[in-house]
């Protein structure tokens, strides 16, 4: 009988979500997500772009923030610690989603992700 559950999930479209998908779903359903997106839209309309982060950050996050500012004029704000209230995390997620779409429009790519990968590779080479 256990083989029926995956079949039923496919049949009804109940795909199993990985942990990050579940977190993103929870964040996007919180009202603060829409608030963050609205804040981002206002900033974009004013010509400003930014990125918000929370949680345990990499040790070289300040270097990444400086590079984002220098290369792309993207401000970087740390809005929460390791344990961040849902509302703060949801607002940051909504804000970042809007900003990421703007980065793609302006720069043709997800510049924050690419910069972090670039710096991570450099840090690994230095070890």
Phi, psi of 49 (to 5 degrees): -130, 150
- The model carries a pTM of 0.82
Write down the mean pLDDT value for the chain: 87
In this structure, what token pair is assigned to residue 124? 């690994």
pLDDT tens digits for range 20-61 = 788 889 999 999 999 999 999 999 999 999 999 998 888 999
In this structure, what token pair is assigned to residue 107? 């720069």
In this structure, what token pair is assigned to residue 99? 């900003």
Alpha helices by DSSP H, listed for the chain, are: 4-12, 19-29, 31-45, 61-72, 86-107, 111-126
């Amino acid at each position: 009988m256990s083989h029926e559950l995956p079949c039923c999930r496919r049949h009804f479209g109940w795909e199993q979500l990985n942990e990050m998908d579940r977190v993103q779903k929870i964040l996007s359903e919180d009202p603060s997500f829409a608030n963050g997106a609205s804040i981002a839209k206002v900033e974009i309309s004013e010509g400003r772009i930014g990125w918000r982060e929370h949680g345990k950050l990499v040790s070289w996050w300040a270097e990444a923030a400086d590079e984002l500012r220098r290369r792309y004029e993207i401000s970087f704000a740390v809005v929460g610690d390791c344990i961040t209230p849902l509302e703060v995390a949801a607002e940051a997620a909504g804000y970042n989603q809007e900003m990421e779409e703007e980065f793609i429009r302006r720069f043709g790519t997800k510049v924050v992700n690419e910069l972090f990968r670039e710096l991570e590779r450099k840090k690994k080479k230095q070890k």
